[in-house]
Structure 1
Amino acid sequence: MTRVPPALLRHRIVVEPYAGEGAYGAQYRHAIPDVPALVDESPRLVRTTDGRQVTASATFIAGPLLDCPPGSRITLPDGRTITAITTALHTAPGLPIPANTEVSCE
């Protein structure tokens, strides 16, 4: 499996994977600092896992092994904190297309 070339992942973000709801609200696992990513801050329309259409304020791609379920908290390079709406793993076994994880955030 080919991966996205590291030279293309120019930004560094922090990912706090969503762990579920607790007595005091959303719970997160330990933060993953310095995650290489390519961030696109143009708004786009995405469909959530429950079928609603929402506007994503940012989308990023990272390596294929990124642990970032919907609901995860992401800190962008400019310090803004956003929440993952959808996560998609893109692979193409046998083709020379790099595998990556695409995350849309609100």
Structure 2
Amino acid sequence: MVSRVPGWLLRHRITVEPYLGDSAYGPVYGPPVADVPALVSDTVRLVRAPDGRQVVSSAQVLLGLDAVVPPGSRITLPSGRITTPITVATVDAPGLPVPAHLEVSCE
């Protein structure tokens, strides 16, 4: 059984506008999903993007496994800042006492 991040730890609320694709006018986003429970850390870190480049992440967001954040989505942080994910990773360790969660590194 995989343990999940306890709800009391997800103290912030974010809004996610899922990326649907590109149009002739730019990115297309789905309807906003508001009040998504999260834990937001406004910390500058160097991360590796999916294409291998090293880029700076200015915020990291921990979410429950049921959250849907496709790459390219728009995320509104509790501060009101709008950002996009650089990476979205599922973190789990079956058999270990580590809660499973999604970790999103944002621009």
TM class by shorter-chain length? over 0.9
2:7 is aligned to: 6
* 2:3 partner amino acid: T
The whole-number CA distance in structure 2 between the counterparts of 1:45 and 1:21 is: 27
How do 1:60-79 residues align onto structure 2 when only pairs under 5 Å count? 60-79=61-80
Scaled by the length of structure 2, the TM-score of the pair is 0.94
1:34-67: CA deviations, max 9, x gaps?
Answer: 0110000010001111111110110110101211
Give 3-state SS (helix, strand or coil) of 1:27's partner: strand
C-alpha RMSD of matched pairs (Å): 0.9
The share of aligned pairs that are identical, in percent, is 59
The whole-number CA distance in structure 1 between the counterparts of 2:66 and 2:4 is: 10
* 2:90 partner amino acid: L
2:58 is aligned to: 57
1:1-21: CA deviations, max 9, x gaps?
Answer: 211011111100001111111
Scaled by the length of structure 1, the TM-score of the pair is 0.95
Runs of 4+ in structure 1 off by over 3 angstroms are none
Structure 1 unpaired stretches of 5+: none
Structure 2 unpaired stretches of 5+: none
Contact 1:69-1:86 within 8 A present in 2 as well: no
